[in-house]
């Protein structure tokens, strides 16, 4: 059904002179604070969002299906209008694309975590979150690893995170993670998940052996954990589907990577949300669709820091007038999923969504933008995937279906 929806939108797509903005505050949805009964978004002082909510449409989105907590990649694919279950994407591919590595269809990518091992067991899965520069030096050192018939591209991402691209003939991505996910145990050996992956498993284990020798004298990052082996999926781009020139303005590599997979071009994000808005302004005439990603809200939620999440939402709200000055034809403000500070992680709870457009139905009875008010809004409860059709429609980019 969901694939069919994409196909129907594709058939109906028509060009228009209109601008669409998708502003994602990662992990926006929350749960009530035990003392006040208000969520992070409801606690934040957001005069701009509140006014927009009253004068436009709000609702709640279920990212994938009820009860399912999404990772960032499927949650964003859904926001971009895709059936996330059709396009499983390995973390390695996301990271590789995010830092600008051009993957070919045969390449296998995996995510690397530098870690600390002592007496054969992992004692810190993140090597004390070493700075990115240190990871860069270590990636350089690991380039000395030699494997028969395989070219390795090893690049730092952020802090203790890095990426390896495995290039060569007969490789496979059917390799289980070597990250045991807990400390106090040895790293797992690479294990083939399919018979044809045995050769690859042997290569990965040889890599690990050489890597451990190279890193042996490092004080913190003396080993690596590998996970998320995968290949580039073929996803039709937003250009192919709807004729959209789309841009991503996101500080975090993974989100840029994901956006580029669906055909978005990368524009600078700077350091702050105001930097992102400045970049948006500069790119305004060149694109039809803009994806702005704010990471801090999710990170605060994952840290269990209710107040920091509130402050970050307020920061976005305060800068909104700058965005509104551009007069987008459609502006959607939402999250990819919920990350309630109370749960210190992603959750399945529906996410408030705000659809701003001169053509949006209005819900003047709604008192501001928050989970509770969104439950009463004019948009009702929808799936994240359905937002793309609504955005295209409000932007005048869909023809009528049938006579």
Please tell me the count of residues contacting its own copies according to CB under 8 A: 67
Q: According to the binding rule CB under 8 A, does residue 68 interact with its own copies?
A: yes
- Ramachandran assignment for 396, one of left (phi > 0), alpha (psi -120 to 50 degrees), beta (any other): left
* Site for its own copies, residues 323 to 362, rule: CB under 8 A: 343, 345-350, 359, 361-362
Tell whether residue 161 is a contact of its own copies (CB under 8 A): no
* Cβ-proximal residues to 195 (8 Å cutoff; 6+ apart), any chain: none
**Does 403 sit near its own copies (CB under 8 A)?**
yes
Rank residues 84 and 354 by Cβ distance to its own copies and give the closer one: 84
Cα–Cα distance for residue pair 255/269, rounded to 1 Å? 11
Q: Which span (136-144, 184-192, 235-243, 388-396) binds its own copies, by CB under 8 A?
A: 388-396
Least distance (Å) from its own copies to the CB of residue 38?
Answer: 10
From 62-70, 101-109, 236-244, 311-319, give the range in contact with its own copies by CB under 8 A: 62-70
- Of the two residues 252 and 273, which places its CB atom closer to its own copies in the complex? 252
Nearer to its own copies, 147 or 382 (CB): 382
Which residues, at least 6 apart from 140, have a Cβ–Cβ distance to it below 8 Å?
none
Among 24, 28, 64, 247, binds its own copies (CB under 8 A): 64
Residue 121 is a binding residue for its own copies (CB under 8 A):
no
Paired residues of 277 in beta bridges: none
**Is residue 296 a contact residue for its own copies (CB under 8 A)?**
no
Position among 94, 96, 165, 249 found at the interface with its own copies (CB under 8 A): 94
E runs forming strands in 11-56? 20-25
Is residue 226 a contact point for its own copies (CB under 8 A)?
A: no
Does 67 bind its own copies (CB under 8 A)? Our answer is yes
Contact with its own copies (CB under 8 A) among 65, 185, 209, 324: 65
385 contacts 65 by C-beta, under 8 angstroms: no
Specify the length of the chain in residues. 403
Q: Choose the stretch contacting its own copies; rule: CB under 8 A; options: 45-53, 70-78, 159-167, 301-309.
A: 70-78
Q: Are 372 and 42 in contact (CB under 8 A)?
A: yes
Q: Which stretch binds its own copies (CB under 8 A): 73-81, 117-125, 236-244, 298-306?
A: 73-81
Q: CB of residue 184 vs its own copies: minimum separation in angstroms?
A: 20
Among 235, 277, 333, 392, binds its own copies (CB under 8 A): 392
Phi, psi of 181 (to 5 degrees): 75, -10
Cα(322)–Cα(11) distance, integer angstroms: 35
Among candidate residues 366, 368, 354, the one with its CA nearest the CA of residue 22: 354
Decide: helix, strand or coil at residue 385. helix
Please state, in angstroms and rounded to a whole number, the distance separating the CA atoms of residues 178 and 97: 22
Nearer Cβ to its own copies, position 155 or 227?
Answer: 227
Q: Which residues contact 202 (CB under 8 A, 6 or more apart)?
A: none
* Binds its own copies (CB under 8 A): choice among 12, 136, 193, 214: 12
- Residue 367 sits at φ, ψ, to 5 deg, of -100, 75
Question: What six digits make up the tokens of 206?
Answer: 């040889």
CB of 298: closest distance to its own copies in angstroms? 13
The reply on whether position 91 binds its own copies by CB under 8 A is: yes
CA distance 45 to 368: 10
**CA gap 394, 313 in Å, rounded:** 26
Helix (H) or strand (E) holding 394: helix 387-394
Does residue number 284 form part of the binding site for its own copies (CB under 8 A)?
A: no
Q: SS3 for 22? A: strand
Identify the residue among 56, 72, 276, 334 touching its own copies (CB under 8 A): 72
- Give the binding site for its own copies (CB under 8 A): 1-2, 4-5, 8-9, 12, 31-32, 37, 60, 64-75, 84-85, 88-91, 94, 228, 343, 345-350, 359, 361-365, 371-372, 375-378, 380-382, 386, 388-394, 398-403
């Amino acid at each position: 059904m969901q694939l069919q929806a994409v196909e129907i939108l594709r058939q109906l797509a028509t060009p228009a002179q209109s601008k669409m903005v998708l502003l994602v505050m990662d992990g926006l949805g929350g749960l009530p604070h035990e003392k006040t009964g208000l969520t992070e978004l409801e606690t934040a002082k957001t005069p701009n969002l509140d006014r927009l909510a009253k004068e436009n449409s709000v609702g709640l989105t279920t990212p994938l299906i009820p009860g399912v907590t999404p990772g960032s990649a499927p949650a964003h694919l859904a926001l971009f209008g895709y059936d996330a279950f059709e396009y499983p994407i390995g973390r390695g591919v996301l990271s590789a694309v995010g830092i600008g590595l051009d993957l070919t269809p045969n390449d296998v990518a995996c995510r690397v975590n530098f870690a600390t091992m002592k007496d054969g067991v992992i004692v810190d899965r993140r090597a004390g979150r070493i700075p990115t520069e240190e990871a860069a030096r270590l990636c350089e050192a690991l380039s000395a690893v030699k494997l028969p018939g395989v070219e390795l591209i090893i690049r730092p991402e952020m802090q203790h995170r890095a990426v390896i691209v495995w290039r060569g003939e007969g490789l496979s991505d059917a390799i289980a993670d070597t990250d045991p996910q807990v400390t106090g145990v040895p790293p797992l050996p690479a294990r083939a998940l399919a018979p044809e992956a045995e050769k690859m498993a042997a290569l990965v284990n040889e890599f690990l052996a050489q890597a451990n020798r190279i890193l042996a004298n490092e004080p913190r990052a003396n080993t690596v954990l590998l996970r998320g082996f995968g290949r580039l999926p073929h996803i039709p781009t937003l250009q192919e589907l709807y004729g959209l020139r789309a841009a991503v303005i996101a500080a975090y590599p993974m989100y840029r990577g994901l956006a580029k997979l669906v055909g978005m071009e990368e524009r600078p994000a700077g350091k702050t949300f105001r930097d992102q808005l400045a970049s948006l302004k500069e790119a305004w005439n060149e694109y039809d669709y803009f994806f702005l990603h704010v990471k801090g809200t999710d990170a605060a939620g994952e840290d269990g820091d209710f107040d920091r999440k509130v402050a970050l939402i307020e920061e976005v709200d305060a800068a909104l007038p700058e965005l509104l000055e551009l007069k987008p034809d459609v502006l959607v403000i939402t999250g990819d999923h919920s990350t309630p500070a109370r749960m210190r992680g992603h959750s399945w709870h529906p996410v408030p969504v705000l659809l701003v457009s001169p053509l949006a139905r209005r819900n003047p009875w709604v008192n501001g933008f928050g989970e509770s008010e969104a439950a009463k809004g004019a948009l009702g409860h929808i799936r994240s995937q359905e937002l793309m059709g609504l955005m295209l429609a409000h932007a005048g980019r869909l023809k009528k279906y049938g006579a």
